[in-house]
Amino acid sequence: MRKFCLFMMSLSLLTVFMVTASVEKAQAQGCVAIRSTGGYAAAEKAMADTATKYEFSVNNRYFRSFRHYVGLAEQKQRQTLGNEVINHSYTMDLNLVRHLNARWSIMVDMPILDNMRSQTYTQDNVLHRFATHSFGIGDIRFAAYAWVINPTRSPRGNIQVGLGLKLPTGAYNYQDYFQTSDTTRQYGPVDQSIQLGDGGTGITTEINAFYNLSPKFSVYGNWYYLISPRDQNGTNNYHSPTPSASSVANGSNVMSVPDQLMARIGFDYMVKSFTFSAGVREECLPVHDLVGGSDGFRRPGYIIDAEPGISYTKAKTTLYLFVPVALVRDRTQSVPDKISTALTGKFTQGDAAFADYVINVGATFRF
């Protein structure tokens, strides 16, 4: 009974912490949903597994961002005018977990990204569309995990903590051609939202928790935070031969290396081999990093989603589908926005394009 009370107290504190983070505007997210955090992070991933040595997951993540927001206000005129930016983002995460024993495990995750960004230029008072692309391996991540309570002693519920390292293996200066007129193209770095990596070595922290209220009904929570000490990565955030005077003045001419946050909470209901999930998910890109500087160009903000899902387990294979649907989208004021506001005396806040939903579909194999 004492262990149960301690576990429920810890889970309650975790839940309060996660819900608080979900509404804290200092934690923010931007132009598109944040780069993959390595797998879909569903409750099944948090369950204690003492029967297998390896888990291999293939997660496919896709979204289309096109709705522009400044703060909480949607800029509907962008679609009316036809000058909205449209991002198509696809990530395939290859994730391998090695269970060292009942309590400890290690993980390596390699994302492969394929992105396309459609935007416009004006010639003879007519809008024309063109696209830039990026493709390749993203930032590889390693992590180690430990259950707070030995799973053999607490099969009904547990809390798992994780600590990892994200390496700057993905290109953060990926370049393509930008159409500036019908006859002119400029070669330069693609937009930050479709770069393959951020150029920083980061520290990842995770908390995963579950508790089975009954044989069919359980609750779960996931928390992921990427600490990025590097301030800027040196990649130009402009496509003309020289940056504008205003971007140099506020520091947005060079790309930033931001922190990232992901939090989830929800419940599962099992019916034979199927598990139906319902929860709330937040993905965020903070205005200010926990460690290091927060200068340079970034689109801070957050998106809060309702997250339904379904999974099917047969023997040692699990197939799943999760579709987070946007409830709240907020593009907050960045550090360069604040600098421009102070320099000009006029409130400045950039915009960002958000998706209506994200598709996460894949499979986990245990052996």
Query: For residues 91 and 308, what is the distance between their CA atoms, to the nearest angstrom?
Result: 20
Look-up of token digits 């800029």: 75
- Hey, where are the domains in the chain? 2-366
pLDDT digits (tens, 9 = 90+) for 60-94: 999 999 999 999 999 999 999 999 999 999 999 99
Q: Which helix (H) or strand (E) holds 361?
A: strand 352-366
User: So what's the pLDDT on residue 37?
Assistant: 53
Token digits of residue 274: 């199927």
pTM metric for this prediction: 0.88
Do residues 39 and 109 touch, judged by C-beta distance below 8 A?
A: yes
Query: For residues 302 and 173, what is the distance between their CA atoms, to the nearest angstrom?
Result: 25
Q: What are phi and psi of 18, to 5 degrees?
A: -65, -45
pLDDT digits (tens, 9 = 90+) for 115-147: 999 999 999 999 999 999 999 999 999 999 999
Do residues 294 and 272 touch, judged by C-beta distance below 8 A?
A: no
- The SS3 assignment for 337 reads helix
Residue type, 9: M
CATH class (in words) of the domain with range 2-366:
mainly beta
Token digits of residue 118: 């459609």
pLDDT digits (tens, 9 = 90+) for 239-291: 877 899 999 999 999 999 999 999 999 999 999 999 999 999 999 999 999 99
Query: For residues 51 and 317, what is the distance between their CA atoms, to the nearest angstrom?
Result: 13
